Structure 1
Amino acid sequence: MAAFGSAGERWCAVTGGRGFAARHLVEMLLRSQEWCVRIADLGPSINLEPHEETGVLGDALKSGRAAYVSADLRLKPQVFKAFDGVEAVFHMAAPDSSINNFQLHFSVNVEGTKNVIDSCIECKVKRLIYTSSPSVVFDGIHGICNGKESMPYPVKFNDSYSETKAAGEKLIISANGKNGLLTCCIRPSSIFGPGDRLLVPSLVAAARAGKSKFIIGDGNNLYDFTYVENVAYAHICAERTLAAGGAAAATVAGQAYFITNVEPIKFWEFMSLILEGLGYERPRIKIAASLMMPIAHVVELTYKLFSRYGMSVPQLTPSRVRLLSCERTFSCSKAKEHIAYEPIVSLKDGLKKTIDSYQHLRAKQQKRTSKVYTYLGNESGVESVKGLERWLR
């Protein structure tokens, strides 16, 4: 199959291109005017969402600078079709990380990644950038402070998603140099931003159910959150460096890079700022992680027994308790030095954009009492804005 469009156009492919972070990457690639983008995803291209019919993506779909290809990574012929004629591949597709289902995660993160690599080699793709995760070096027990890429993979992982992402990462790194293919891995930490269907909706659901008042642990654990546009930008930095050739490309090829906003913040403070920004009460009651863990094990066991009968995925699991109560910060010095990555959106601005994009989820019956919320398009009481005002100063 020939590449879509006329001769001379440069095509790249984004797997999982209709997903949260991938959609931002697709739009950034199109805005650069350097690429035509093939969006490889499970969903049928005829069922477009409203945001896909307008703006830069809508214009690109109409002009032919972007195209959808239905592709299940577990089916190699479909992957091959998606990659035929493209110059670079951004492999961002992954299953839901909140479901601790080893079979599902293995089939996509490992077997699917094998199909991606094989198809890249057969289609003579030049560059492959893989979206990994900082969790590939997290054992679920020990916190990570300013983690470096030299950290080894743990003997035991926190969950099946992390374990299979690490296996996929190893495959990507091992594939570097095969048939001229250059590869590298991006490890973005705790992605947030407009379009996320997990973090903010889950927080709001918990708040509306009266469950957001609790802090697991002492509340002082630092975290690195990464605004979604910075994640997209890091992928572009990596691809451009590999494309430049020479010593720069040789340095980056076969490497992995942590990506953050370079602004560590207390995990529970970050959660509180989002909740307050939408008019909900900030968490205030601290519960020791050791007390929550037995309950989480019971919840997880119950889900395993009753998921076949339609039980929804629980928010409280052992792996989640560990993630919520430990420290996880990572160094971006290697990414800055090798691929010239620096955040293009600050944590403060990313937070404001995120809160603004979820106004449909804000608490009802609020009173406009703060210039901060006037600026953000939110309303809330005096007490609930104090933390956000301190952050935005």
Structure 2
Amino acid sequence: MRDDNVTPTSESEDEKDIFDVHQEPHFGACLVIGGCGFLGQHIVKFLLNEPTVTSIAVLSRSPFTNRCNKVSYHIGDITKPDQVRHIFQQVKPKVIFNTASPHAYIDHEHVLDNFYVNVDGNRNLLEAAAEIGTVKAFVYTSSGPIVASRGGGYDHADETKETLAVSRKGDPYHVAKAIGDQITLEANGKHGFYTATIRPTALYGEGDFQMVEPVIRALEDGQTNIWMGYNDIDMDVVYVGHVAKAELLAARGLLLRHVSSSGPKIDGEAFNITDDEPCAPWTFFRKYWVLAGDKTPLSSIWMIPPTLVMTMAYFAEWFVWATTWGKMRPKMLKIERMEFVLLTRTYNISKARKILGFKPWEDQPHANQEEAVKASIEWYLGPDAHGPAKLPGMSYFPELPFQLISETGAKTKTGLPQTHYCVRNAQIMAMTHNTIFRALNSIYYQALKIVPGSQETVDFLTYCSIVFEFMHHHNLSEEHYYFPDIQKHTGNSELMQSNIQQHRKIDDAFETLQKYVELVPRDKYDGLKLRSLMDDFAPVYQEHMTAEINTILDLHDKIDSVSLRKIDKKMRDEAENYSDIFKAAPLYLGCQDRNFTVDGEKIHFPEVSFLAAYFVDLVLSHRHRGAWRFNPSTMHGTPRKPFEVVRPQRKNDTLSDWTSPGKKVRLDRAIFCVTIFTI
């Protein structure tokens, strides 16, 4: 759509080129399916610079992001034939680029979306293109790994390798992509238009969420020192701009076939597209981590043997499947994702080079892969996407009004024997106080986001009540067990009186705060009022909680280590005995950060197994489930963003034609229970 004249450049004589300067094809009206998505938006940008394009239209289910000027946007679902025909009648496209697809590795309950979109949706587009009569070129975005069978690797596979459309065995995403690829190529030349498919490998670049999100999540979870496998295989990746450029080259070739039969055959063909720079997976991902601020030295990296990795992946898949009634998949340990970093899977792009004239980094905004990766991570960590990476130990919630305790002073205190239990006791107390601080900071941060009168208000006030009850219980446990036992053992009845006096000092402000959340009607809730009460309470409470750590360290010359350990254990045991486990356990676990350091070291706190954490998450948390969304972390100690939006999930109740015709597939809960029992 440029106004300037562009003269095509000629290729070297030793390469067959599809372009003919005397018969440059005319793009005309172009329609980009999924043009607001990751790849689609880049195709639109390339089309805006194509001089023979007369109009650009985008069909999307949600065309409200990644929009460009001089482009028309249409709301539609390609799985609905009537909607597709309606938009085709409006646009009358000459060239169609189909980039629409669900993400790979989606949960089991949405697996059929792969086939609804990539098979049924693509078939609807091809049928509508045949009916409208204006279409001359149809380019389908396929996938390189449609040749990847379960557990199989390959080096520089070309387009002749058998796809999963033949065996129909493999992960559903790539099976669906393979079938979509097949029906596109089979439609070539049958209804007045030519077709081709582009097979990219793993995409990255500006606008990417699918690859970069788990990579940055691993950084934020403190897992950059754990590598799956030995990093001794090769993988291929591709910059999104390369795929967009290849799709336009394919479309140009298809249009040229209408005016000239000379040159290499492009219609009815598939083309692999990569950066053509195979590399070790963790070497590539580490570039993201370093650019995001990771400083993990290579000397501290643990490499998990591939056999163990796959065992873990299979177990994780089964465990999540079983505990979610067959609906969900693990976030990280997905079988296909692990195979991606454990098996060499590279692709030969010589066909695209020779026939399409594709050249990596030609006409791209970046000169090489290093620059493209940098641009990708800068976009993702920008304000319009993820925001700055939360490095281990950082929180999504500001440390307001309470500052977390990261140093007890044990390492700098003069005359303090580091082996005395008071050091460990002080660290445990600091972690307990940080548990309370995280909960209070979460309340303070989210107080203004609550809409009075809503169910959200009820859940939020319930959460506040549980937190304040926990704080009160903590103080009582100290006064009834910890302080008296220390004074009794040392024979000094005044030793802990200053701490008791601090408790009395905070009582008035705390009582006012507690009464407000327990008595205020939900339609009268005022976030500013709650914050004001917390501001009044915060200074004296912070002072007490910090001072108490120093008091514990000062016990090193007043009580022996073994006795202090017994007193501390007794207090914690008694506190657990008198706690409401349905409140205390989910709160305690949901206010941790497993990567937070105290005195420069990560401390496993609280001392519960991962199975116990799952039990709390799946069983104990249900009684007050609405309240736990305000926890600052998951039940496994992973900090989370406040008010994470959960995308509405599409309900599938029938299968499409790609499976056994006429057979209704359903999940019967009773049969599922029997299956689990049998396993």
- Shorter-normalised TM range: 0.7 to 0.9
Q: 1:117 aligns with which of 115, 126, 135?
A: 126
Does residue 18 (structure 1) correspond to residue 36 (structure 2)? The answer is yes
Q: As a proportion of its length, which structure holds more strand?
A: 1
Identity level (%): 26
**SS of 1:69 mapped into structure 2:** strand
Correspondences of 1:1-393 after superposition (within 5 Å): 10-35=28-53, 36-43=55-62, 45=63, 48-49=64-65, 51-52=66-67, 57=68, 59-60=69-70, 66-84=71-89, 85-99=92-106, 101=108, 102-124=111-133, 125-154=135-164, 155=167, 157-245=169-257, 246-247=260-261, 251-281=265-295, 284-307=301-324, 314-344=331-361, 345=364, 346-359=368-381, 360-362=387-389
**SS of 2:77 mapped into structure 1:** coil
Give distance in 1, aligned partners of 2:356 and 2:369. 21
2:141–2:197 contact (8 Å) kept in structure 1? yes
Give distance in 2, aligned partners of 1:69 and 1:307. 37
Q: Kindly name which structure, 1 or 2, has the bigger radius of gyration based on alpha carbons.
A: 2
2:306–2:342 contact (8 Å) kept in structure 1? yes
CA RMSD of aligned residues (A): 2.4
Q: Go from structure 1 to structure 2 and tell me whether the alpha carbon gap of 1:309 and 1:111 turns closer, same or farther (over 3 Å shift).
A: closer
Give distance in 1, aligned partners of 2:118 and 2:220. 34
In terms of mean alpha carbon deviation, does 197-206 or 177-186 score higher? 197-206
TM-score by length of 2: 0.48
Q: Go from structure 1 to structure 2 and tell me whether the alpha carbon gap of 1:364 and 1:78 turns closer, same or farther (over 3 Å shift).
A: same
Give distance in 2, aligned partners of 1:42 and 1:301. 33
**Cα offsets for 1:6-43 (capped at 9, x unmatched):** xx992111111111111111111112243221111111
Q: Which amino acid aligns with 2:360?
A: P
**Cα offsets for 1:342-367 (capped at 9, x unmatched):** 122421221222132234334569xx
Give distance in 2, aligned partners of 1:249 and 1:94. 32
Give distance in 1, aligned partners of 2:324 and 2:186. 36
* Distance apart, 1:281 and its partner CA: 4.3
In terms of mean alpha carbon deviation, does 214-223 or 155-164 score higher? 155-164
Give distance in 1, aligned partners of 2:289 and 2:124. 41
**SS of 1:180 mapped into structure 2:** coil
**Cα offsets for 1:172-218 (capped at 9, x unmatched):** 01000111110000001111001111222221112111223221111
2:209–2:380 contact (8 Å) kept in structure 1? no
Q: Go from structure 1 to structure 2 and tell me whether the alpha carbon gap of 1:93 and 1:32 turns closer, same or farther (over 3 Å shift).
A: same
* Distance apart, 1:310 and its partner CA: 8.6
1:133–1:186 contact (8 Å) kept in structure 2? yes
How many matched pairs?
Answer: 345
Give distance in 1, aligned partners of 2:72 and 2:127. 22
Partner in structure 1 of residue 457 of structure 2: none
Q: Give the gaps of 5 or more residues in structure 2.
A: 1-25, 382-386, 393-679
Q: Go from structure 1 to structure 2 and tell me whether the alpha carbon gap of 1:363 and 1:113 turns closer, same or farther (over 3 Å shift).
A: same
Give distance in 2, aligned partners of 1:13 and 1:249. 26
Give distance in 1, aligned partners of 2:249 and 2:27. 20
1:158–1:319 contact (8 Å) kept in structure 2? no
1:138–1:157 contact (8 Å) kept in structure 2? no
Q: Go from structure 1 to structure 2 and tell me whether the alpha carbon gap of 1:79 and 1:218 turns closer, same or farther (over 3 Å shift).
A: same
Give distance in 2, aligned partners of 1:288 and 1:41. 43
